Amino acid sequence: MQLMSSTDDNYDAVNPDTFNTMKAPLVSIITPVYNASCWLTEMLESVQRQTFPDWEHILVDDGSADGSDQIVERAAKKDSRIRLIRMSHNSGPAMARNRGIEDARGRYLAFLDADDLWLEQKLERCLRFMMENNYGFVYHAFRYLSSDGKSVGTVVRGPAELTVRNHFVRRGTGDCMSVMIDRERIPEFHFVHQEGKTHEDWQTWLWLVKRGHTGHLLAEDLGRYRKSEGSRNAGKLAAARLVWQMYRRSEKLPLLRAASWWAQYAWNSYWLHQRSRPRT
C-alpha cells in the first residue's frame, strides 16, 4: 500500500471543510512544552528524521521560563513545518495539547512529549497500519529510556486491543508518545482535563474506549519513553492510591470489581516496571 501525502492529486480522504485545505499536511504532531530546553533539540531531530515527511509539528509553550520557546523559534526558522504557539499562562499538558489540536490542520493526530523520542519509521508504520485496517485509534510498542539517554529497557507491548476492561487492568500503551488518532473517524477527539487531577492521558483513553473507539496495538518498537530520575516508592504508592480513587469515585465501579481490577493493575504495573525499566 502506498502512503500518499495530502498534496497528492489522487488523495481525497480529507474533508477540506474540516481540515482547511487540500494542501494541509496529512499528520499534525502536538507537543506541550514546559521548561524542556534540555530535551527539545533531540526530540525535534527525531521528528525531522521521520521517513514520512508530510507533517506539521505544533509545539505549545505552556509558560516556560528556561528559553524553551526560543529553541522552538530557531527550529521553526529552519523548518517551516515547525510551528510555535504560546499559552498566556501555565495551564497543564492537557490544555496545551487541546490548544494544539485547535490549530492542527492534519487528518491524523500524533503526540510526542518534549522529553520523549520517536524512531525514524514511527509515522510511516503507524499510518500504514491505520489505513490498511481502517483503524481510528492505534498505539505502538516502545522502550523506556533512561533520563540520561544512555540505556533502554526491553520492549513494552500493551494489550492487542484497548477496551474498557483492558484499560483498567493493563499498562503499556506508551501514553501520548505512541498514540495516533484519525480525526475523520474520531472528529470529537480532545484531551480530558479536570482541575486538580492527574492521569489525564489515562482518562482520555478511557473516554475514547467508553465511546466505542477501540485502540489497536501495532506491535513494533517505534519510540522511546524517557523515565525521570528519582522514582520513589512513595510516588508509586501515591499513584496507586490515585488509581483506586479514580476506580471508585470517578468511575464509580462496584467495590468488588474495583478491587479485582485494581489488584490486576497493581500486579501488571509492578511486573512492567521490573521487566522494562532501563538498566545500566
Specify the DSSP class assigned to residue 107. Answer: S
**Higher local confidence (pLDDT), 7 or 55:** 55
Question: Percentage of residues in the chain with pLDDT exceeding 70?
Answer: 86
Indicate whether 129 belongs to any domain.
Answer: yes
Question: Percentage of residues in the chain with pLDDT exceeding 90?
Answer: 63
Indicate whether 168 belongs to any domain.
Answer: yes
Highest mean pLDDT among 13-17, 24-28, 261-265: 24-28
Which of 100, 103, 125 has its CA nearest to residue 112? 100
Indicate whether 90 belongs to any domain.
Answer: yes
Q: Is the pLDDT of residue 17 over 70?
A: no
Indicate whether 201 belongs to any domain.
Answer: yes
Q: Is the pLDDT of residue 52 over 50?
A: yes
Looking at residue 115, its pLDDT comes to 96
Cα gap 107→183, rounded to integer Å: 5
Looking at residue 5, its pLDDT comes to 46
Look up the CATH number of the domain holding residue 223.
3.90.550.10
Total number of domains constituting the chain:
1
pTM here is 0.86
Which of 31, 106, 14 has its CA nearest to residue 71? 31
Indicate whether 267 belongs to any domain.
Answer: no
Which of 177, 109, 104, 170 has its CA nearest to residue 137? 109
List the domain range (segments joined by +) for residue 214.
27-230
If you average pLDDT over residues 203-219, what whole number do you get? 94
Surface-to-core class of residue 266, CB atoms within 10 Å of its CB (0-12 exposed, 13-18 middle, 19+ buried): middle
Q: Is the pLDDT of residue 7 over 80?
A: no
Looking at residue 251, its pLDDT comes to 81
Per-chain mean pLDDT for the chain: 87
By the 8 A CB rule, do 3 and 52 touch?
yes
Task: Name the grid cell of 120.
Answer: 525514524
Please name every residue paired with 226 in a beta bridge, in sequence order, or none if there are none: 145
Which of 145, 133, 272, 160 has its CA nearest to residue 216? 160
Q: What is the pLDDT of residues 238-248, one digit of tens each?
A: 777 778 887 88
Looking at residue 244, its pLDDT comes to 82
Task: Name the grid cell of 226.
Answer: 524517557
Indicate whether 244 belongs to any domain.
Answer: no
Q: What is the pLDDT of residues 154-200, one digit of tens each?
A: 999 999 999 998 888 887 676 799 999 999 999 999 999 876 556 78
Highest mean pLDDT among 102-111, 159-168, 250-259: 102-111
Q: pLDDT-derived band of residue 261, with 50, 70 and 90 as boundaries?
A: confident
Q: What is the pLDDT of residues 134-150, one digit of tens each?
A: 999 999 999 999 999 89
If you average pLDDT over residues 6-24, what whole number do you get? 47
Indicate whether 14 belongs to any domain.
Answer: no
Indicate whether 3 belongs to any domain.
Answer: no
Looking at residue 241, its pLDDT comes to 78
If you average pLDDT over residues 206-211, what whole number do you get? 94
